[in-house]
Structure 1
Amino acid sequence: MQDIGAGAPWRPSRRFALKLAGVVALALFLAWLGHNVAENMAQRGMHFSFDFLHDPFGVDISFHILPWQLGQSHGYALLVALVNTLFTAAIAILLASALGLLLGLMRLSGNPLASGASYAGIECVRNVPLLTQIIFLYIGALQLLPPARASIVLGPDIYLNVRGLFVPVPEWGWSWAVWPVAALSVLALLRAQWRQRVPAALLAAALATLFFAFAASWNRPVLRGFGFSGGWLLTPELLAVWIGVSVYVSAFIAEIVRSTIGGVAKGQREAAASLGLKWHQEMFLVILPQALRAMIPPLTNQYLNVVKATTLGAAVAFPEVVQVFARSIMNQTGRSVEIMLMILTIYVGLNLILASLMNAWNRRLEIPGR
Structure 2
Amino acid sequence: MSQSAADPRHLRTPPKRQLRLSWADERIRAIVWQVLIVGAVVGIVWWLVRNTQHNLEVRRIATGFGFLQREAGLPIGEHLIEYTPASTYLRALTVGVLNTLKVAVIGIVLATVLGTVIGIARLSKNWLLAKVSAVYVEVIRDVPLLLQLLFWYTILQGLPAPRQALNPVAGVFLSNRGLRLPFLDWEAGHSWALLAFVAGCFATWFYARTMRRRRMQDGQPRPIWPAALGFLIGLPVVAWWLGGAPTGVEWPALRGFNFQGGMTISPEYFALLIGLTTYTAGFIAEIVRAGILAVSQGQWEAAQALGLRPGTVLRQVVLPQALRVIVPPMTSQYLNLTKNSSLAVAIGYQDIVSIANTTLNQTGQAIEGIAIIMLVYLTISLSISLFMNWYNSRIALVER
TMscore range, shorter length = 0.7 to 0.9
Structure 2 distance, partners of 1:17, 1:261, is 48
Letter in 2 for 1:163: R
Taking the TM superposition and a 5 Å limit, the aligned residue runs for 1:7-46 are: 22-46=37-61
1:149 to 1:186, Cα distance in 2 relative to 1, 3 A: farther
The corresponding residue for 2:394 is: 364
Contact 1:97 1:253 in 2 (8 A): yes
Matched residue, 1:55? 70
Comparing 159-168 and 303-312, the one that deviates more: 159-168
**1:196-248: CA deviation from partner (whole Å, max 9, x where unpaired):** 9467xx98xx879989x989636433223343222221111001111101111
Aligned to 1:36, the other structure's residue is in SS state helix
Gaps of 5+ in 2: 1-11, 213-221
Give the whole-Å Cα distance in 2 for the aligned partners of 1:293 and 1:184.
Answer: 29
> Which runs of structure 2 are paired with 1:1-370 in the superposition (5 Å)?
5-6=16-17, 22-139=37-154, 141-153=155-167, 157-170=171-184, 171-185=186-200, 197=223, 217=247, 219-225=249-255, 226-326=257-357, 328-369=358-399
Q: Which has the larger radius of gyration?
A: 2
Cα distance in 2 for residues equivalent to 1:68 and 1:279: 52
Deviations 1:237-288 (A, max 9, x none): 0011111011111100000000010000111111111122222211111111
Q: How many Å apart are 1:40 and its aligned residue?
A: 1.1
Give the direction of change, closer, same or farther, for the CA distance of 1:163–1:272 in structure 2 (3 Å limit). same
CA contact (8 A) 1:219 1:230 kept: no
2:7 alignment counterpart: none
Counterpart residue type for residue 337 of structure 1: I
Using the alignment, how far apart are the partners of 1:111 and 1:187 within structure 2?
Answer: 40
Q: Is the 8 A contact 1:169 1:219 kept in 2?
A: yes
Contact 1:101 1:253 in 2 (8 A): yes
8 Å CA contact retained: 2:196, 2:236: no
Aligned-partner SS, 1:346: helix
Q: Percent identity at matched positions?
A: 32
Shift of 1:67: 1.2
Q: CA deviation at 1:335?
A: 1.1
CA offset digits 1:286-338 (Å, max 9, x no partner)? 11111111111101100001110110000011010111112x11221111111
Q: Structure 1 residues 346, 15: closer, same or farther in 2, change over 3 A?
A: farther
SS in 2 for 1:224: strand
**Residues 20, 95 of structure 1: alpha-carbon distance in 2 compared, 3 angstrom cutoff:** farther
Q: 1:105 to 1:188 in 2, by over 3 A?
A: farther
Question: Does the 8 A contact of 1:49 with 1:338 survive in 2?
Answer: yes
- Given that 2:200 and 2:235 are in contact with CA atoms closer than 8 Å, whether structure 1 keeps it comes out as no
Give the direction of change, closer, same or farther, for the CA distance of 1:90–1:7 in structure 2 (3 Å limit).
farther
Q: Using the TM superposition, name which of 158-167 and 266-275 deviates more.
A: 158-167
How far apart in 2 are the matches of 1:131 and 1:29?
36
Q: Unaligned stretches of 5+ in structure 1?
A: none
- Between 1:276-285 and 1:9-18, the stretch displaced more is 9-18
Aligned length: 363
Deviation per residue, 1:40-59 (Å, 9 max, x gap): 11111113211111121122
* Bigger mean CA offset, 44-53 vs 69-78: 44-53
SS of alignment partner, residue 264 of structure 2: strand
Q: Structure 2: which amino acid aligns with 1:345?
A: L
Q: 2: distance between equivalents of 1:28 and 1:155?
A: 65
Normalised by the length of structure 1, the TM-score is: 0.87
Question: Aligned in 2, Cα 1:80/1:275: closer, same or farther, shift over 3 Å?
Answer: same
Secondary structure at the residue paired with 1:364? helix
Q: CA 1:20 to 1:180, structure 2 compared with 1: closer, same or farther past 3 Å?
A: farther
Instruction: Supply the distance in 2 between the matched residues of 1:153 and 1:189 (Cα, whole angstroms).
Output: 39
Higher mean C-alpha displacement, 90-99 vs 145-154: 145-154
Letter aligned with residue 335 of structure 2 = L
SS at match of 2:17: helix
SS of 1:72's partner is coil
Q: Report the Cα offset of residue 147 of structure 1.
A: 2.8
For the 8 Å contact 1:163–1:236, the answer to whether it is kept is yes
CA RMSD, Structure 1 to Structure 2 (Å): 3.2
In the TM superposition, what whole-angstrom CA distance separates every residue of 1:173-196 from its partner, at most 9, and x where no partner exists?
A: 21211212224445766996xx99
CA contact (8 A) 1:157 1:220 kept: no
